Amino acid sequence: MGFTDVIYGKSDGVARITINRPEVYNALRGKTTDEMVVALQDARDDDSIRVVVIAGAGPNAFCSGRDQSEDRSSPEYSGTSEEDFMGNIRRMPKPVIAEVDGFAIGSGNILAYMCDFTVASERSTFGQTGPRVGSPAAGFGVGYLSSVVGQKRAREIWMLTQQYSGQQAYEFGLVNSVVPHEQLGAEVERYCALIKNNSPVILQLQKITFNEMTQYAEGIPNPTERYAPDYIKSEEAEERRLSFIERRPIDTSKNLPLVNTD
């Protein structure tokens, strides 16, 4: 497969996947996530690879989330791969490091905290946007954050849709290390060297152990699918998407009523 939305390379036991859409702050579209699945599976199957690094191209962003200019109900938005790229990170038998420089917002923040390690520069910014832009994020990817930073912080990050500096993210436990921008590459290399010095199979078994602590939650049906399966087709979803793109106030008269969970 020829890559256009990502840059993929391997060297000295490290596979590096770089989201290569700097013109849109490395926002994800379906083609991007499809290519990431292919790269992740190649890294998984290559016995010479000991660690995977995921980064973003350009000076502004790691990943700014899903590309809201795409129709949310289309393959252009969600991709055509039968594999989930976040699931591939979780099931990867090798450690995965998010190298965050700039914005890690929305799906970009989820991507960062789904990785085994998150190393960030001081100029990084983290946060979620779903409730504000009408993206009906729910289920395991949302709930898993509580295992990273605790219930109170997770609810704050997801439900208040604020943005946090790299230093704040470090204090929350959202990132493992925060360093000046010019030291970010060296810090990631330090992590890679430490990983490569340890037993591959023991690291794999430890990752399985950590994953099993939350595995039960992966099997619970997504609340959006259970209670609001047509949300993305609603007036509220379209109004919030367009207000975000057009940089204007939200018409809250389009808000939907609460769903009946009885």
Domain at 171, CATH number:
3.90.226.10
Residue 227, domain member (yes or no): no
Q: Identify whether the C-beta of residue 122 lies closer than 8 Å to the C-beta of residue 183.
A: no
Domain span at residue 128 reads: 6-212
Q: Identify whether the C-beta of residue 40 lies closer than 8 Å to the C-beta of residue 92.
A: yes
Chain segment 157-185, per-residue pLDDT in tens: 999 999 999 999 999 999 999 999 999 99
H-run or E-run covering 243: helix 235-246
Residue 79, pLDDT above cutoff 80: no
CA-to-CA dists, residue 101 to 115, 125, 141, 149, 202, angstroms: 15, 8, 22, 20, 30
Region 214-237: mean pLDDT is 91
Rounded percentage of the chain residues whose pLDDT exceeds 70:
97
Residue 7, pLDDT above cutoff 70: yes
pLDDT of residue 36: 96
Region 151-160: mean pLDDT is 98
Residue 104, domain member (yes or no): yes
Residue 260, domain member (yes or no): no
Task: Render 163-211 in DSSP notation, one character per residue.
Answer: EEEHHHHHHHTS-SEEE-GGGHHHHHHHHHHHHHTS-HHHHHHHHHHHH
